[in-house]
Structures are given as structure tokens and as C-alpha cells.
Amino acid sequence: MAARRIGNYVQTNILHVDQAAQEQEKRVLGKIAHDAIGVTFFEDDPSVTEWFRDLVPTASGVADYFFDLFPSASWIRRYNLHWLLGDAIAGVTVGLVVVPQAMAYASLARLSPAYGLYTTFTGACLYWIFGTSKDIVIGATAVGSLLIGQVVSKIAEDRPGVYEAQEIAHAICFLCGLVLLLLGFLRLGWLIEFIPYPPINAFVTAASITIISTQLPTCLGIKGISTREAPYKVYINTLKALPDAQLDAAIGISSIVLLTAIQNFCSKMEIRQPRKKRMWGMISSLRLTFTVLLYTFISWLVHRATSEGHEKFRIVGHIEKGFSHASVPVMDTELFGLVAKELPAIIIILIVEHIAIAKNFGRQYGYTVVPSQEILAQGFANLLSPFVGGYVCTGSFGASAVLTKAGVKTPLAGLFSAMILILALHALTAVFYFIPNAALAGLIIHATWNLVTPPYKLYRFWQYSPFELGIWVIGVVLAIFTNLETSIYVGIALSFALLLIRMARTQGTSLGQARVTRMVQHPEPSPTTAKKAPAPPSTPPGTTDEPTRCVFFPTHPRNAHNPRIKVEPAHPGVFIYRFAESFNYINQAHHVDYLLSHIYANTRRTVEDDGVPPKDRLWSEAPPPASKLDDDATQKPVLRAVVLDFSTVNVIDVTSVQGLIDMRATLDRYAAPNKVEWQFAGVRNPSTRRALATAGFGRPLIRNANALAGWCPAYTVSFPPHNGVEGTQAGGGERTLERDGEVSEKNLAELHPDVTVRNFCRRLAVDDEEKGNIVIAEKKRWMDVVYGVDRPFFQVDLTDAVDAAVRDARRCEKLEAACQPDTSLTLHGEV
């Protein structure tokens, strides 16, 4: 008892919660609903305790979490020989493709070609355990290698001779692995949705242009070009040094031409011979391997008798056999501090590139990709990569496309690719010695050129959203003239700014109504069916048997509907407003200002003189217009109700609720001595309903129950469509309507004229002997109200909300016309 008294004291005197008044209000509203429809239901508001209780993991939830960490456990038990054959063929094919790719991309990271093989090996070995895509290949990529190369160059300039290139690359990879693992274990893959597509696409295009600039001097055999400068400077310096091009240019340019020719030829043959599409696709995929082997053979013919240091053109040179650089990475806190500031851009690109590729193949082949699990797989691969000598790895689009065309069956195909990489590291290093650097540069230029966004996609961006095309252009320009980090950060920041501006200035719409119907064109009977069945009676043009209904259109002239459609207000003084998007602290002021200005422009004050003397009136508040001076104002209706469509609003905050409270007070002063009715449609979220109800919305303010005697509330109830659908009856009894055929309000009224909505649950009388086809059984529930009767102004949809507002507005008008202003003015105010 003492605790209860203390609790009541705290609620009453400190929190100012009048529980007695709330209980009295519930009893009054419940009695009104019971008398009207015989049904009562009160909403249970969500509590903070329930929210915290839902956060506590259950035993089954914990078990599912650990099981989901290893998706391979769900399919490895069903592995069969058919899958094994498909995976072996696909894995070997991809292995032949990624060997030259990985060696070429390693040069972008300022490392020897072997490091690219180490990187791809780690991803191929580990991904199948944690990954959820069968088509993706994790390994060295052009963009990831370029980012590592830029960081390596920057730290080498800041700390010359302190750290070797591979130590810097290993430190970056190790820290990336730790961050990715944390994101994966916490299941934060949804964070990737915060990164919009345009800045990422701009980054990929800019990275491709940057990669080409770094490889162009190597491809042409030009020495002395600093590729660490901004891309535009590299291009300018390369053009100036064209007269100094060496024999490497013949190899580099011819390799690009050969690769492009094979690709175009195979693409045309895929169209001409669709039955052999897979074969031509495989030939196109292996063009990289073929080109590298061809120029390696040519280089061997040229240099087989040449001593080291006297080569005709630059070649890869000596590569140590096996995993000679496998070791524990250097754990230097100073080095970690130097690379930590470069991690955000690298991690963003690694995640976005990987998940975009995985989701693309998942949509194409009908399986689900789990972003959090993909990030976890990336985390393990990057964490272990430096221990075998590799650097950062992520999904490769080119290699993944080859894997798909090769007919992969499961993620286990990566193990077969790893075998090819092991073979290359132990048996082919002597062959790799003769690979021309210009051929690898040509391979990189050819592969990355396909990543540049083509003009037709930019035109689509323009059609989708011109502002986002502007962000794309800014991102590319910044990358060309500054660096890639600035490009990605500025692009994401501009996208967020555009999002906030759109949210803050989102335009709601004032709605009116029009009556519509459906006109159906019946198909003409075929000659055979026309002889068997008589033709249905034709309907004259412009007529229809379909029922008409009210729909709501924006009153603004610039909208999608036909401008010849006449949109009328639902009722004079009743205003309908639909939020285009969310309603929150960013845009609440914009919505409130628009709604107030729209109401002021289309209504007049309830009384011409509000009784405020000029000396007490605010300097910013204009006095009410005199009717004799403003004839147009006298023709406008008085404000009756505001209907808010919350179907697009899920959660509201304190600022938005306070905005509604302030607007209610402003409109009540404007409509005084009347009180404005507020109807809400489509409020689905329980927390939002609780917030609005706490602010005094959703119900009339009741102080004296006798003053509501003239109110005719409207409730939305659930009817059974067929054969005894359940509902709730007041009083605890349960009934079911069972009939052979359809049940509708119309045939119920024909069978039982005494049955009305008011006494539907309590006085349903059926003579089973006379009717024979209806049985009332006291075993199932019959009908129930959809929402709580303690909040009758929260309606199911906009139609019900407008109907309730119009009914009350008409009732008030009738009472005013009958010279009963006191009753009309007490419904929605303090009674």
C-alpha cells in the first residue's frame, strides 16, 4: 500500500499524470462504444520494459546465431558428385584466369607479382566456409590494389626507409580484417545501405581512370613518369613524353588490341550461335591467360640467351618459389597509427564492391545473399591474408563472371582455384620470369576500362535524378584532380546532404476527393464460342455496372492525374493532408507552415471579432477582417477538422509531436470558440499511437460525460467474409455465422431487418427452422472493433478518417443552424 501511494504521489505531483481522469475517460469512451456497437477494446501501449525484454537473446536465437556463422554446414552434407564435377571445372577455369590478373594487380599495390597470388589464394581457400554466394571470387582487385599502392607510396614518402612496402600492405590488411570481422559478428551488414550508389559508381569510374594513368607509362615503356601525382598530371606528362616510348609500347598496345578483338569476336559469336554461347563465353574468359602466355613465349624467344640487365623490354624477373613471404605481420603500433586514417575509404570500397557483386549474382540466379555474412567472410580472408604474404582482398567482378559462366555449383569451387594458385607458385615461377611488364599493364588497362561508366548509363542517371548525376560528376572530377579518398568522402557527404535536404523540404499534399469507378471492356467472343453461347448484353459507352467510390487526389494542379478531373473538398472546413514521406524533426516545421498557410488561405475565423483589444494584440498578428470590407472572406468556410494521413509515417519524435501540439493550439485560437477536430489515418506503429495519445490526440477531451450525449462516434469493425470468420462479441459470448454461400451485410439485412450495427452483436436473432441455411453457434467469436475504442480518432484508413470528420462537421453545422452553439462547441474541446 505504501509503495502504491508513493507511486500515485510521484505520478500525480511530479510527473503530472492524472490516472483517475484517464480511467474515467476510458470508462466513458468504453460505455459509448458498448452502447453503439456492443464491442469494447482498449489498446495496450508498448512499454520500455518490453523493448528491453525483446533485446534479450533466447537460447534458440543464440543457437541460430552460431549456426548462421557457418552457412556451409547447411549444404556440405548434401554435396554430391555432380556438384563436384561442376565445381572442379569452374574452379580450374577461374584459376587460370586469376593467375595473370593477380600478378598484374600486385603492381598497382607497389608489390611484386607473387603477392597478388598470395592474396587470391587466401580468399579462395576461406570463402566457401563463411560465404553465401556460389558465384563470387575473393582475391586481388584493381581498385583495392590501387588503394593499397597509394597508401604505400604516401607512407614511404613520409617515413622513407622505415617500413617496407609489404609491411605497410600487411598492416592495412590486418586492420581491415579486424574491422570487417567486428562488423560481421555484430551483424551490421545493413550499414552498407547508408552508402548510396552514385558516389560509389563515380569512385569506380575515377579509380579506373586513375589505374589507367598509372599503367600507361609502363604500357608505352616510358620512364621517369611519377604515377603518384594526380591523374591529370600523369596523363599530361605521359603525352609530353611520347617521343621517348620504348619497344614496350609495341607489346602493350598490341596486347590491348588483341584482348579487345577476342572479346568483341566472342561477343558476336555468342549472338550468332546461341547454342554455343557457353563455349564462346569460356573462350572470351580465357583471353587473359592466352594473351599472357603468348607474350611470355615471345619474351622467352627474345631473352632466352640474354643476360640479366640487358633485356630488350622490361620483364617481371625473378619470383621466389612457393609461399616464401609467409610470416607473422609486423605488429607496430606506430605503423598501425599511420595506416588507420586510411582505413575508412578502403573498408567502404571493399564492402561495397564485394556485396554489390554478390547481390547481383544472387538476384540473377535466385538465391539470397546475407550482407553481414559476406562481411564476415571478407574479415576472415583479410585477417589471414597477411600471414601468407597477401594484402587486402575482396570480390572480383571479372573473375566472378568467369566462375558463373563456367557452371559453378557451390562455393567449394574456390578450393580448386587455390590448387591452381599453389601449382603456379611452385611450378611456374620460372615461366613468370619472362612475362613482359607491358603485357601485364595492357591486361590491367583492358580490364579496368570495362569499369568506366558508359554514356548511356549517365543518361539514365540524368533521367532518374539530375542532382545525383551532378554528385557523380563532382566525384569523378575530384578524383582526377586530387585523389580517390577525397572523391569518395565528398561524394558520400553530398549524397547525405541531398538526402537531408529532401527530407527537410519534402512536400506534403492537401487532398480533395472525386468519385470514380471501374469500366471493364469485356472481350469479344471468338467465332467458335459465339455459336455455342449467346453474346452478353452490350454496355453502352460511358456506362458501367461497377459501384462508384471516393478516392483522394492532390488539390495541387501539377500532379499525375488528369487535369480535367475535378477534385472537390471532402466538406467545407475539413482539410486532408498527406505526408509524402516521414514526419520528423527535420521537416516538421515545413509541414506545419504549409498546412497553416493553406488553412488560413481557404477558411475564415469562426467569429469576426475574437475579443482581443488592439492594445493587447501582438504586433505580428493581424486583426480579423471585417465582413463588410472583405466579402471574399465571408464566403469561405470556418475550420471544422484536420485529417492527417499517417500511412507513410512510421515513427515520430518529440519535435514533431510538439509541432502538432503547437499547431493545434494555433488553430484552436483561430477557430475559437470552436475546437478543431483532429482525425488520423493509418497510424500503425504502437509507439507512434502512444505518443500522439499522450499529446492529447486520438480522442475528445472529456471532463463531463453528459456533454457528449449528442456525439455520434464512428467505429471500424471487422466482419466475417465467409463461413464464420472469427470476431469478438461484447459480454464474453461467442457466436459464429455459418451459411452455404456468401455472407454480406445486404443479405443479412434482408434476412434479419432488426439487425443493425448498433445491436449487431447483442441482438442477432435467427430462426433456424424458417431460414434453414443460417446457424448461430455459441462457439466462435463473431465480430470485433479493429482499433481501441479509447482512441476513436485513430482510423483504419483515410476513407474512414474523412468520413468521421465529415459526419462530425455536418452534425456541428446542424446544431449551429438549430441555434445550439454550446453543444456544438463542446465536442472536441474541454467538456
**CATH number of the domain within which 669 lies:** 3.30.750.24
- How many Å apart are CA 319 and CA 424, to the nearest integer? 11
- How many Å apart are CA 416 and CA 286, to the nearest integer? 17
Q: Please, are residues 813 and 699 in contact by the beta-carbon 8 Å criterion?
A: no
- How many Å apart are CA 99 and CA 417, to the nearest integer? 9
Residue 7, pLDDT score: 57
* Residue range 178-215, pLDDT digits in tens: 999 999 999 998 888 888 888 888 988 888 898 899 88
Ordered DSSP codes for 361-428: HHHHHT----HHHHHHHHHHHHHHGGGGT----EE-HHHHHHHHHTT--STTHHHHHHHHHHHHHHHS
Tell whether omega for the bond before 673 is within 30 degrees of 0, i.e. cis.
yes
Is 721 a member of any domain? no
Higher pLDDT, 212 or 518: 212
Residues 487, 557, single domain; the answer is no
Residue 537, pLDDT score: 53
Residue 211, pLDDT score: 86
Angle subtended by helix axes 165-185 and 343-365, to nearest 10: 60
> Which candidate, 794, 826, 560, places its Cα nearest to that of 679?
794
C-alpha cell at 365: 540466379
Is 286 a member of any domain? yes
Taking the alpha carbons at both ends of the chain, their separation in whole angstroms is 33
Among 476, 501, 526, give the residue marking a domain's end. Answer: 501
What size, in residues, is the chain?
A: 831
- How many Å apart are CA 210 and CA 444, to the nearest integer? 12
Amino acid at 788: G
- How many Å apart are CA 173 and CA 420, to the nearest integer? 23
C-alpha cell at 706: 453528459
Is 296 a member of any domain? yes
- How many Å apart are CA 220 and CA 237, to the nearest integer? 13
Strand (E) or helix (H) holding 679: strand 677-681
Residues 554, 471, single domain; the answer is no
Residues 553, 492, single domain; the answer is no
Is 830 a member of any domain? no
| DSSP-based three-state secondary structure for 718 | strand
Q: Please, are residues 201 and 494 in contact by the beta-carbon 8 Å criterion?
A: no
Residues 492, 641, single domain; the answer is no
pLDDT band at residue 523 under the 50/70/90 scheme = low
Q: Please, are residues 296 and 311 in contact by the beta-carbon 8 Å criterion?
A: no
Q: Please, are residues 731 and 762 in contact by the beta-carbon 8 Å criterion?
A: yes
Q: Please, are residues 542 and 548 in contact by the beta-carbon 8 Å criterion?
A: no
Q: Please, are residues 626 and 609 in contact by the beta-carbon 8 Å criterion?
A: no
Is 781 a member of any domain? no
* Residue range 456-515, pLDDT digits in tens: 999 999 999 999 999 999 999 998 998 888 888 899 999 999 988 888 888 888 898 888
| DSSP-based three-state secondary structure for 515 | strand
Is 449 a member of any domain? yes
Amino acid at 604: R
Q: Please, are residues 775 and 768 in contact by the beta-carbon 8 Å criterion?
A: yes
Residues 183, 219, single domain; the answer is yes
Residues 285, 136, single domain; the answer is yes
Taking the model in full, what pTM does it have?
A: 0.74
- How many Å apart are CA 205 and CA 809, to the nearest integer? 60
Strand (E) or helix (H) holding 774: strand 774-777
Q: Please, are residues 666 and 816 in contact by the beta-carbon 8 Å criterion?
A: no
Strand (E) or helix (H) holding 674: none
**Percent of the chain whose pLDDT exceeds 90:** 33
CA-based angle 401:402:404, to the nearest 5?
65
Of the listed ranges 65-69, 99-103, 307-311, the one predicted with least confidence: 307-311
Query: Residue 27's Cα: distance from chain center in Å?
Result: 44
Q: Taking residues 388-413, report their average pLDDT.
A: 87
- How many Å apart are CA 152 and CA 184, to the nearest integer? 27
Q: Would the pLDDT of 101 be above 80? A: yes
Residues 478, 514, single domain; the answer is no
Q: Please, are residues 74 and 368 in contact by the beta-carbon 8 Å criterion?
A: no
CA-based angle 145:149:150, to the nearest 5?
120
Q: Taking residues 565-576, report their average pLDDT.
A: 89
Amino acid at 485: E
Backbone angles phi, psi at 793, to 5 degrees: -95, 5
Residue 779, pLDDT score: 32
Count of structural domains within the chain: 2
Residues 136, 236, single domain; the answer is yes
CA atoms within 13 A on the CB side of 227: 22
- How many Å apart are CA 452 and CA 207, to the nearest integer? 9
Amino acid at 197: Y
pLDDT band at residue 749 under the 50/70/90 scheme = very low
Q: What is the DSSP letter of 159?
A: S
- How many Å apart are CA 356 and CA 195, to the nearest integer? 11
Which residues on adjacent β-strands are paired with residue 806? none
Residue 11, pLDDT score: 58
Residues 215, 349, single domain; the answer is yes
- How many Å apart are CA 811 and CA 817, to the nearest integer? 10
Among 447, 469, 501, give the residue marking a domain's end. Answer: 501
C-alpha cell at 628: 463588410
* Residue range 47-92, pLDDT digits in tens: 777 777 877 888 888 898 999 999 999 999 999 999 999 899 889 9
- How many Å apart are CA 259 and CA 266, to the nearest integer? 11
pLDDT averaged over every residue in the chain: 81
* C-alpha distances in Å from residue 359, one per residue of 122, 656, 700: 22, 37, 51
- How many Å apart are CA 213 and CA 293, to the nearest integer? 25
Residues 637, 699, single domain; the answer is yes
Cβ-Cβ contacts under 8 Å for 746 (sequence gap 6 or more): none
Is 722 a member of any domain? no
* Residue range 640-667, pLDDT digits in tens: 999 999 998 988 999 999 999 999 999 9
**Percent of the chain whose pLDDT exceeds 70:** 81
Residue 353, pLDDT score: 85
- How many Å apart are CA 210 and CA 190, to the nearest integer? 30
Residues 551, 456, single domain; the answer is no
Domain containing 699: what range?
509-518+546-614+622-703+791-822
Q: Are strands 549-554 and 509-516 parallel, antiparallel or unpaired?
A: antiparallel
pLDDT band at residue 13 under the 50/70/90 scheme = low
Is 698 a member of any domain? yes
Residue written as cell 591529370?
232
Among 471, 501, 531, give the residue marking a domain's end. Answer: 501
| DSSP-based three-state secondary structure for 156 | helix
Residues 422, 514, single domain; the answer is no
